[in-house]
Chain A
Amino acid sequence: MTPAMAEQFVNLQRLAPEIALCIFGIVIMLADPFMPREKRRALGWIAFIGALVALVGVHMTAHSPGLAYSGLINNDAFSVLFHLIIISAAALVILGSFDYLDREGIQRGEYYALILFATAGMGILAGANELLTAFVGLEMSSISTYVLVGFRRRAPVSNEASVKYFLLGSFATAFFLYGIAMVYGATGTTRIDEIQAALQNSLSQEGHLPALSILALGLIFVGLGFKVVVAPFQIYAPDVYEGAPTPVTALLASAPKAATFALMIRIYSVSFASSSDTWFWVIWISAVLTMFIGNLAALVQTNVKRMLAYSSIAHAGYILVAFAASTEFGVAAVLFYLAAYVAMKVGAFLVLAHLGQQDERRLSIQDYAGLGIKQPALAACFSLFLLSLLGLPATGGFVGKFFAFQGALDVHSSHGAWFVWLVVLAAINSVIGAYYYLRVIIAMYFWSPNQDYVPTRVAPAIAVALVLCAVLTIYLGILPGTLHSAALTAAHTLALH
């Protein structure tokens, strides 16, 4: 093997998960027209196998850390862990989609192919070492999800959600891009590792950062803030999450958030580490606003899907608390929180995908009154996810919050006191959150059963997906050590300052 071929091989190996996802996506698109309508479910299984193959690919990439494609992709331990989170979320969502699509009469190959393409885009986003790659990954995942959100074509709400998501998503992307242009103008490079050196250089030579780079930070925060759904860019999220098909909501609320946080950590904590004093306040204010807006708005919702949409905004706020710390422990906490969050949020939305019934008409809290008697297993599962979202001990959500708050409290900088306040406010928010999560649980177990609502049998595929989510949620709650030490190692490879 010549050296050039060997290099190509290593490149391919380090991009293996994305390549696998794209190949499976293309195969599904090609096979779709030849499949009779009633057999299209098989395409879903192909997509699921594709996601599993991609997970094997992640295992391969883990053994060959380093840069790929002349520095466009950075396949470090950090990227590997995020790949695990993202692809697992996609696999669970695919598993939970089969019966939903049958019920709504939209069983089509594109759906699965788009999920795989979106996942590939998120993978690229998590492993980007160049803002160009990050942009392409971000757009791959965004454009695919614009279509997925509008996939219930006959439902006007789905279409409306799609239009809103598309317009505001592209608007946000434009800000992100303008931010990149400013970074490029200030430093002459768009490589994440080189930006750091260039900024350090101008800091030591001129004593301050270029004004353009500060502007860039703001613009990039607008762009990425939209994607991770933090205040004040959260306005579109409840509408989009409510209108999208529920399994797509499960995907939207989990995987893109994880991928975009990976990029935010790379940009803010690594590239712009030298200006952390500047962006600390932006993150601080945004975190407080996000938590309060998410939790207070969730209090008054009667539609459970919309309530969970607001709850996912609140959770983005908790993640920002750890993100603001920007230490190794803080980054590890973000990683851990995202893993736990994905398990419980995907689980909760998949429960809703089943409970919503035909045309998603049964999403109100009254519909679920007495569900604990009618379907004890499903109600128990849903309660577990809600309790984990609430942050009850022995669930992944609790440990995630614990690490996040711990990470913020551990910071010994001039902002130390402000971190304490941030954690105090986050704790107050957790208490507010308890009200609306518990209300659903109380409705399921203590309200008199809603005679109107006839439960349907849980299909095996959804049951498997839910059990996996539940096992993960409990596992992360009881034995967080393995993932947390892996997250610490991953954070260490980022070489934070």
Chain B
Amino acid sequence: MSVVPISYYLVLSAVLFGLGVVAFVFKRNVITIFMSIELMLNAINLAFIAFARAHNQMDGLVFVFFVIVVAAAEAAVGLAIVIMLARHRQSLSAERINSLKF
């Protein structure tokens, strides 16, 4: 049985992270933008796990737990903020968040 090399996981992680960045920049719905951040965080988790395996250590796995916990806290606060936005504007489009101007 052949083992999948670590580099495959790292490439996958980089691709997922890149997709998250692209979605963050180009998507217009606030919830979707938020989801793209979650995608980036999960790409990071994958990288941590792959490196932990490569180094044969537990440290990377511990880090993943912390990332998951913090992401949950961030989601709780973030969604509350988004609900306030929806109440104010009756819309979730990022294009309408424009009352503060340069």
Contacts and interface: CB of A to CB of B under 8 A. Distances in A.
Contacts of A153: 84
Contact of A174 (B37, B73, B81, B99): B37
Given A139-B70, A153-B84, A160 B41 contact: no
Contact of A178 (B40, B73, B81): B40
Given A178-B17, A181-B48, A166 B59 contact: no
A157 B48 contact: no
Chain B CB within 10 Å, residue with most, of A132, A135, A181: A181
Contacts of B50: 185
B88 to A, nearest CB: 5
A157 B97 CA distance: 9
A139 B57 CA distance: 25
Contact of A157 (B66, B82, B100): B100
B74 A150 contact: no
A57 interface: no
A242 B100 contact: yes
Contacts of B77: 143, 146-147, 166
Contacts of B24: 167, 171
Nearest to A184: B51
Interface string B7-39: 000100000010010001000001001100100
A155 to B, nearest CB: 9
A181 B78 contact: no
A190 interface: yes
B15 to A, nearest CB: 13
A170 interface: yes
Contacts of B51: 181, 184-185, 188
Contact of B85 (A132, A163, A238): A163
Nearest to A156: B88
Contact of A156 (B55, B74, B89): B89
B70 A160 contact: no
A159 B85 contact: yes
Contacts of B63: 132, 180-181, 184, 190
21 contacts: A132-B63, A136-B66, A136-B70, A150-B81, A150-B84, A157-B99, A159-B88, A161-B100, A162-B84, A167-B34, A174-B41, A177-B44, A178-B17, A178-B43, A181-B47, A184-B51, A184-B52, A185-B47, A185-B51, A185-B54, A238-B100
User: Which 6 A-B residue pairings sit nearest by Cβ, starting from the closest?
Assistant: A239-B100, A174-B40, A185-B51, A181-B47, A188-B55, A139-B70
Given A160-B100, A177-B41, 14 more contacts: A135-B70, A136-B66, A136-B70, A139-B70, A143-B77, A160-B97, A163-B82, A163-B85, A170-B74, A174-B37, A177-B44, A178-B44, A185-B54, A190-B63
